Structures are given as C-alpha cells and as structure tokens.
Amino acid sequence: MGPIGIFGGTFDPIHYGHLRTALELLEGLSLAEVRFIPCSQQPFRDQPIATNDVRLSMAKVAVESEARFSVDARELERGGASYSVDTLTGLRAEHQDRSLCLLLGMDAFLSLPSWRRWEELIGLAHIVVAHRPGWQAPIEGVLGKLVREHSTEVPRDLSTSRSGRVFITPVTQLEISATRLRKFIREGSDPKYLVPKGVWVIIAETGCYSGERVGGVND
Ligand code: ATP
C-alpha cells in the first residue's frame, strides 16, 4: 500500500491552492490517499474566523469529488491547541507498518522549528515540502541541517520506508491564501474559481467571513 499523505491546516477556508497541491503530491509520489486535518487552534497564530463546524463542513464538501481525499476531524475533536506531533503519534499507532507523509507548504516548513517537539516529527513521518511562490529551501540553520541529513530526491524512498526522509518538490503555483480570500469576501468580492463551489455555498449561507474585523475577531 502506498503512503498516507497528511495535510494539516487551518483551512479557513480550504481553497484550490490546498487541493491542487495535495493532488499533485498524491499523484507524483504515488500516495494511496491524502487526509486533510483541520486544526483546532494554532499556537502562535490568530485563531480561526469560521467555527470548527463550518471549517469541517467546507473541508468535507471540498474533497467530495476525489475518492482518495478524506477529512480527519481528530484535531477538532481533541480541542485545545493542535500539535502535529500528537496527531502523527496517534496516526503512527494506528498505522504501524504504513509510510506516513506530512505534506507542508514551504512557509509551513520554514516555521517548523517553532512547532512543539518538532525534532520528533521526522521519526514519525516523512516530511514532504511543496514549493510556494517566493519561498526557497533552507540551506542554513537547523532546517538546513535537517534537509542535508534527511533529504531524498527519489519518490520511491517515501514508499520503501515509513518515515525519516525530507522530499522537497515544486507544484503548480496557485498563489491563493486564505487570509486574502477572506479579505476579498469581506470586501464583497466573489471567491468563485478560488474555492470549490460547495465551499462558496457554505461561505455565502453562513456569512462566516462577512463580519471579520482586522485582528481576526468575528462580528
Ligand atoms: P493563511 O493565508 O491564513 O496563512 P493558508 O491559505 O496559507 O492560510 P493554511 O490552512 O494555513 O492556509 O495552510 C495549510 C497548509 O497549506 C500549509 O502547509 C500551507 O503552506 C499550505 N498552503 C496554503 N496555501 C497554499 C497554496 N496556495 N499552495 C500550496 N500550498 C498552500
């Protein structure tokens, strides 16, 4: 069985940048599936604007058309701050013999040293980094060391071992950000073609972003 891809994020809202990246990684790396895991609260970041239920519904509707995508609500169910090390520890216990691939955008990868017990992640999963516009692979510091010691350019390495490799790969660059999307919506613009239709319907029906103030507090 191919590796399981783990795509975590705030998904506030999920958009085509997330979905296209996940699909290209799934196909390029022969992943068996990709699980999207919306986080509950992210340490060191503004809290999500849409409620947990709405973010979960948007993620579910977004993956409906791809059988190899699914949504895993464990971080929302756990509540409190979401730490990838806890999530991967749980997944590793459930899938002892499977390869796990933590899928990250380059911006998320560059912030890795601020994540709780981040050095343990590479022992639990492979780390796959998708390039985003304007971001470069680190060559210095602790991340440069991680890349030098664990990097591979051979996709098969991600299937033949369960964890321990870093794979950095370009993907089609869709410069969509959830923060910019919410701003658009707040200003009355239409997010059509940036998010799947079902996501746009939920945004319109719930009005979840129309009252967002600068500073990230709901009206
Ligand atoms: P925000 O603009 O609020 O930071 P975001 O759009 O970056 O939100 P997140 O939910 O924070 O979305 O991101 C989850 C993951 O998706 C991260 O690993 C991030 O690097 C990646 N990601 C976000 N946007 C894109 C994009 N346009 N293309 C590829 N990867 C992306």
Domains in the chain, please, with CATH? 4-174 (3.40.50.620)
Is the Cα dihedral 62, 65, 70, 73 positive or negative?
Answer: positive
Which residue(s) pair with 173 in the sheet?
none
As a whole number, the mean pLDDT across the chain is: 92
> What per-residue confidence (pLDDT) applies to 139?
85
Which two structure tokens, joined as six digits, stand for 24?
Answer: 């290209």
Which two structure tokens, joined as six digits, stand for 76?
Answer: 């929302």
Reported as a pLDDT band with limits 50, 70 and 90, residue 132 is: low
Mean pLDDT of 71-84: 94
217 has pLDDT over 70: no
- Atom number, ligand 1, closest to the C-alpha of residue 103: 18
CA of 210 to the centre of ligand 1 (A): 21
The Cα–Cα gap between 125 and 7 comes to 12
* Alpha-carbon torsion angle 198, 204, 205, 207, nearest 10: 130
Q: Which of 15, 16, 21 to mutate to test the pocket of ligand 1 (most atoms within 8 A of CB)?
A: 21
- 3-state DSSP assignment of residue 53: helix
Mean pLDDT of 103-124: 95
The Cα–Cα gap between 38 and 7 comes to 8
The Cα–Cα gap between 44 and 46 comes to 7
> What per-residue confidence (pLDDT) applies to 21?
97
